[in-house]
A and B are shown apart, each in its own frame.
Chain A
């Protein structure tokens, strides 16, 4: 498979797409599938029209993302991943709508059936940012399978009027309440989850939680007090400061299962980018940029070791990591490209979908960087 990544950062959607198309025409005039990251500032209603007009194709998936990766650059604009298959490789696209009301419909069953019927393919999910619902959906999905190792993905980051909102675009639809699935057929795929945050101290046990809101721990102690103590002594404390210390959920052996980023602080609760359940145990964690980058390096080396040669790297990296990485944000993708030695496409997410750090079940992660290597068979 030949994979190339192009980008443009101008103020106009149409002009950016034209710029990308021109770059493509010089090195890749012919392609089989197109994946586009579109900044949320561009008008939603224009996306499908201009993509189809400029690229003259209906074989595409576009999605909104504030920052996306074009090889070793972080771009706020348009990033295009162009794929040309050389042997038997193929990418299918399917959209699943109605995520917010999935408990009242047969969405879970339909998606489960889809995965069963296509269990020889590798599926990449790009989802709308219905965080809490998606987390529940993934958990329910796990109940249908012994393990799910051929699914990975990211949650689109987009905001409108301070509300999380992001769309996926296909030739037939604009998806606000669902997710798109790209199914890679006849590819060897390897993925690895990079954590980097170290847990510290004694674990807390969730006492009272509702969806993604945590109220109390232990014997009814308000967790808000712990958060306030972390921010004590800092003038004008900002929620973003808590990006350095997501909570780390641990399994019965004390191993980190997944992380949860702080989303909001209420009057009596703390909100996360993912659900929290009574009885779960977690610890406070902390990381500096270099620790995250070390973990990234190990992740991509693991993928490289599994695949030997890589045609394309995909990366779903949590937006929260940006705050910790700071000026070293771009070092993450540089590391992946340097070691993976392949074109790289991805974006900063509001949640990453991948297998658990210590389990074969699928999880909605926070604060991780999932790197995926793909090679056409």
Chain B
């Protein structure tokens, strides 16, 4: 066999080996992305989970400090969600949660972070600047009550500002949670 053919075969083998490596790297990247998504997503609603919240909170706080802005943390809870499960079953309860999650996702900007914090609780991280989120939240309540009229649910919320009011996630959530609770109290204990 002449030298040219030998070299050509070796060249072709190298090309095939490179192709396989590229294929494998792409597959690994895809798998890593999938693993990451599975680790940070809530499987029921597709929203981010509380593990992701911790990670993104501190990044956003640092950014807010650098840009001299603030981040609003909105703590949101579905009112009377327990009755949905009790009266209509958990399957319906899950469906309602998924639909509420979708409504929340569509109610905020793409770069705001919407998280299912647990059960029927949600947390939204939103940049204060350029967004009248108080108005948006009021509209959200009306929208939700209308859509889910059959289940007689609503939402209560409270918000806190970071880094102004607290620099830690726990601290900011505690403040927002307290305010949410005050709203709930004022709604149902009039």
> Are B8 and A233 interface neighbours, CB within 8 A?
yes
Q: Are B10 and A286 within 8 A (Cβ)?
A: yes
The minimal Cβ–Cβ distance linking A311 to chain B, given in whole angstroms, is 37
The stretch among B13-21, B72-80, B135-143 that forms the contact with chain A is B13-21
- Asked whether B6 is an interface residue with its Cβ less than 8 Å from the other chain, the reply is yes
Other-chain residue from A204, A284, A288 in contact with B13 (beta carbon distance below 8 A): A284
A323 in contact with B13 given A202-B24, A234-B8 (CB within 8 Å)? no
Q: Which residues of B contact A201 (CB under 8 A)?
A: 13, 16-17, 20-21
> What sequence of 0s and 1s flags, for each residue 1-17 of chain B, a beta carbon within 8 Å of any chain A beta carbon?
10001101110110111
* Residues of chain A contacted by B17 (CB below 8 angstroms): 200-202, 284
A164 at interface, CB cutoff 8 A = no
- Residues on the A chain within 8 Å of B19, using CB: 229
Give min CB distance, B34 to chain A, whole Å.
16
Indicate whether A241 sits within 8 Å of B20 (C-beta atoms), given known contacts A323-B1, A326-B1.
Answer: no
Bound-state Cα–Cα, A141 to B24, Å: 37
Let me know if B1 and A240 touch, CB within 8 A.
Answer: yes
Q: Complex formed: what's the CA distance from A284 to B14 in Å?
A: 10
Distance between Cα atoms of A232 and B14 in the complex (Å): 12
Q: How many Å from the CB of B63 to the closest CB on chain A?
A: 40
Question: For the complex, what is the distance from the CA of A102 to the CA of B20, rounded to whole Å?
Answer: 40
- Residue pair A230, B24 in contact (C-beta under 8 Å): no
- Given contacts A201-B21, A202-B24, A286-B10, are A241 and B5 in contact (CB under 8 A)? yes
The smallest beta-carbon distance between B9 and chain A, in angstroms, is: 6
Q: How far is the CB of A283 from chain B (nearest CB, A)?
A: 9
B24 contacts A234, C-beta separation under 8 Å: no
Q: Which residues of the partner chain B approach A318 to less than 8 Å between Cβ atoms?
A: none
A13 to chain B, nearest CB (A): 33
Instruction: Evaluate contact between B12 and A233: CB separation under 8 angstroms.
Output: yes
Which residue of the partner chain B has the closest CB to A326? B1
Interface status of A231 (Cβ within 8 A of chain B)? yes
Q: Judge whether A284 and B16 touch: CB under 8 Å.
A: yes
Taking CB atoms, residues of chain B closer than 8 Å to A284 are 13, 16-17
A2 to chain B, nearest CB (A): 40
* Cβ < 8 Å to A, chain B residues 28-45: none
Return the CB mask of A250-293 against B: 1 if under 8 Å, else 0. Answer: 00000000000000000000000000000000001010100000
Find the residue from B1, B8, B9 having the highest chain A CB count within 10 A. B9
Q: Whole-angstrom distance between the alpha carbons of A234 and B8 in the complex?
A: 7
Contacts of B16 in A (CB 8 A): 201, 226, 229-230, 284
Q: Are A202 and B5 CB-contacts (below 8 A) given A230-B13, A284-B13, A286-B10? A: no
- With contact pairs A201-B21, A202-B21 given, residues A230 and B1 touching in the complex (Cβ less than 8 Å): no
In the complex with contacts A229-B16, A230-B16, A245-B21 CB distance below 8 A: no
The 8 Å CB contact of A241, one of B1, B15, B21, is B1
Contact A234 B13 (CB under 8 A): no
Complex alpha-carbon distance, A284 and B12, angstroms: 11
| CB-contact partner of B15 in A229, A286, A288, A326, under 8 A | A229
A232 to B16, CA, bound (A): 11
Which partner residue on chain B sits nearest A240 by CB separation? B1
Closest to A288 in B: B6
Complex-state Cα separation, A244 to B11, whole angstroms? 12
Q: Assess the B9–A245 pair: CB atoms within 8 A.
A: yes
Q: When the two chains form their complex, are residues A245 and B13 in contact, meaning their CB atoms are under 8 A apart?
A: yes
- B10, B15, B16, B17 — most chain A CB neighbours (10 Å): B16
Chain A residues with Cβ below 8 Å from B5 are 234, 241
Interface centre among A230, A240, A241 (most CB of B within 10 A): A230
Closest to A324 in B: B1
Scan A199-222; emit 1 where CB is below 8 A from any B CB, else 0. Answer: 011101000000000000000000
With the chains together, A244 CA to B15 CA distance in Å?
Answer: 16
Please report the C-alpha to C-alpha distance between residue A376 and residue B91 in the assembled complex, in whole angstroms: 83
**Nearest Cβ distance between residue B47 and chain A, in whole angstroms?**
32
CB distance B24 to A241 under 8 Å? no
Collect the chain B residues with CB atoms within 8 Å of residue A240's CB. Answer: 1
**Which residues of B lie under 8 Å from residue A229 when comparing CB positions?**
12, 15-16, 19
A-B contact pairs, 8 of them (CB 8 A): A230-B13, A231-B9, A234-B5, A234-B8, A241-B9, A244-B9, A245-B9, A326-B1
Given contacts A202-B21, A226-B16, A245-B9, 10 further A-B contacts (CB under 8 A): A201-B21, A202-B20, A229-B15, A233-B12, A234-B5, A241-B1, A241-B5, A244-B1, A244-B10, A284-B17
